[in-house]
Structure 1
């Protein structure tokens, strides 16, 4: 079995945690592969290296991240494209998406022995139509259309299956997966949704109305957005906090459930809402 280990090299704790993970897997006769940028940190350990993250996920049977939720979200896109199951070890602050904490690393032996279950999570296909060209982006958590550096409230038109359904005056409009319901969507006042639910959450960001609330759309919904702003201004589409795209008044952004899905490995039975309460208490500390 070949296991990819993805490390957040900006966190010293993640570097040491990944070393422990690699040694555990090697002791279980599994092959470990990492990105070549990790090589200076793991000298003397029998780890294989590849140059790109595409190669990393293209050659492995499963993947483990050592970092926070951001590390998991970044790796998740490649895991979904390559149909690779993924598990996170949380060395960040909250770790909503992670299954394990550093003290639980010993449980990873179950991964080698294939004693685990997986949870399928939906992803969003975010399509941008600009200047006659179409580009697609994959969202694990959310896609947000916001005013960016434009200082005024913006008017956002929302369409469902090509039919206009609503107009929001707000700082922005956020679309989230159930996995992303505990991220930016939660901070914007959106609902907490069980992660296996098949739906798309739309939440206005700082709406200029007491009646603008989150809406849950069925997973089969095809949504589209246009913005009304001055011709010399632009809004910003942000996908998972990583990718930024300027959106003009003549552009259209379409959001639907992706044909790809993310498989998250679970090595223990967990009550999502009990875990959520624990994590939210940590956030308040």
Structure 2
């Protein structure tokens, strides 16, 4: 590997680890770069978007929020990410801080598994024109924001009406994001190898609305039903702007996958038990 980018959580402990890791990598002759909006040391250059294609590896020191920040930085490029947990839950950053150097060594020796994760493509269309375009690793959320009233949303699969829901909002999650907001809203856990998108209402005002799993080859469209209402769009926890009554949110599987690095011995169900206490009896 020639070029490694380090992205760290903005706190003193994570930055200290970033400085030490950068020095360790440079001794091995590796070109170390930082996130465009971060600084590790004066002798560490910041990565630029034009150089992103040449990146061989991204190392994240932080939690899942920092990991998603690094995914946005990549902008669809195929460099894999090694996530080292310095946050709380750390479902994406599953490598323990104590195992940082052993995991990086295994990565440099090509002994880690590079596993693809499906991403979502998100388009907002207004009056027939696309006004925003983004990708998400975890989820897309349409929510009522600070307004007290519920919002009414219709959603379509391949232009066929799939349902209408009155709720605080709706979560559209990838398999990776199924263990995030989707799970908290009562949605199912999807194994990352499943080719699916799950749609889960947030606090629906009905006993009949339940999460729905769609094949990820289908295009899903979401519209507000009430012309007087407004809603807000969040993409992987970041603001995606306001939504008006005539807007369409169009979601499909992205053409590019994301690549996550894991030890060959790691198992998804072990991760569920470790992080979420899945299957444990109280």
- Taking structure 2 as the reference length, what is the TM-score of the superposition? 0.91
Select 1:98's aligned residue among 93, 101, 104: 93
What do the CA deviations read for 1:203-255 (whole angstroms, capped 9, x no partner)? Answer: 00001111211111111011001112343x41011111113311111111111
Q: CA RMSD in A?
A: 1.9
Distance in 2 between the 1:61 and 1:259 partners?
20
Distance in 2 between the 1:126 and 1:80 partners?
13
Deviation at 1:263, TM superposition (A): 0.7
What do the CA deviations read for 1:247-283 (whole angstroms, capped 9, x no partner)? Answer: 111111111100011011123421212221221249x
Secondary structure of the 1:81 match is coil
Residue equivalent to 2:81: 86
Select 1:144's aligned residue among 141, 146, 149: 141
Secondary structure of the 2:276 match is helix
Gaps of 5+ in 2: none
| Bigger shift: residues 71-80 or 203-212 | 71-80
Residue equivalent to 1:157: 154
- Taking structure 1 as the reference length, what is the TM-score of the superposition? 0.90
Aligned residue-pair number:
275
Select 1:67's aligned residue among 54, 62, 65: 62
Deviation at 1:150, TM superposition (A): 2.6
Distance in 2 between the 1:209 and 1:190 partners?
16
Tell me if structure 2 keeps the 8 A contact 1:198–1:218.
yes
Tell me if structure 2 keeps the 8 A contact 1:144–1:174.
yes
What do the CA deviations read for 1:161-192 (whole angstroms, capped 9, x no partner)? Answer: 01112111111111001111111111101111
Residue equivalent to 1:121: 117
Tell me if structure 2 keeps the 8 A contact 1:2–1:61.
yes
Equivalent positions of 1:104-253 (< 5 A) are 104-107=99-102, 108-134=104-130, 135-231=132-228, 233-253=229-249
Residue equivalent to 2:14: 14
Gaps of 5+ in 1: none
User: What stretches of structure 1 move > 6 A for 4+ residues in a row?
Assistant: none
Secondary structure of the 1:259 match is coil
The question of 1:23 aligning with 2:23 is answered yes
